[in-house]
Homo-oligomer: A and B are copies of this chain.
């Protein structure tokens, strides 16, 4: 089961270029931490990206909540990604038919495909959404994550919804390299989907709008996730951003080492 191998081993054998560079940088930086930066100004976004940059493998953005977005913001994010060695993941949650998402991904004000290494999509519209995004993203070497499970209360990502999403991923491995999910998605020896898990917190249990939290250990060791996504737990207190990023990186990495040790001795 690829889930239980080291990130280095998985990097060596992964067919998807985006996944390979991700696994390599995770090992290089000893980080399976992604910070979800949900702030509404360019200044805050850049400040947080710069502060957490050294500790993350992926910086997750919601570019469409930034009031003063412009292409200079994108250029600054790209510079920080190079400087600190992380990938950018615009959490757009595409959810329309193929012909529409093509334009939303490539064009418009944000031109997401031009700067975001990773993006994601809901499978609810059917497989056409993957085909539409792949037309834009594949030639640019981008990677797509599918939403197979959500951590929010009452989410409908369950049963056949999840099963069919995994089937769609299997049929589109050239572009889809993993999932936003709460558990490992690998079932066969020849597959290696990267699982990024949101809703991770060490101090809180919910936000009053349906979000629910789990610890890094629960996600990595117990559920087989690969990357923990942490939001306000890291940047909620402006004085502690760097300290919290270090703390979560350590918690995530320790959980990964524990998982490795369990499965190496097994």
Contact = CB atoms under 8 A, between A and B. Distances in A.
Interface of A: 38, 40, 62, 64-67, 69, 91, 93, 95-100, 102-104, 107-110, 122-129, 131-132, 147, 150, 152-157, 159-161, 164-165, 168, 207, 209-211
Given A126-B155, A156-B124, A132 B209 contact: yes
A101 to B, nearest CB: 9
Contact of A153 (B67, B93, B103, B126): B126
B124 A150 contact: yes
Nearest to A211: B97
A99 B211 contact: yes
Contact of A123 (B66, B123, B156): B156
B97 A95 contact: no
Contact of A65 (B104, B122, B123, B168): B104
B161 A156 contact: yes
A66 B108 contact: yes
A108 to B, nearest CB: 5
A211 B128 contact: yes
B128 A152 contact: yes
A102 to B, nearest CB: 8
Contacts of A40: 103, 107-108
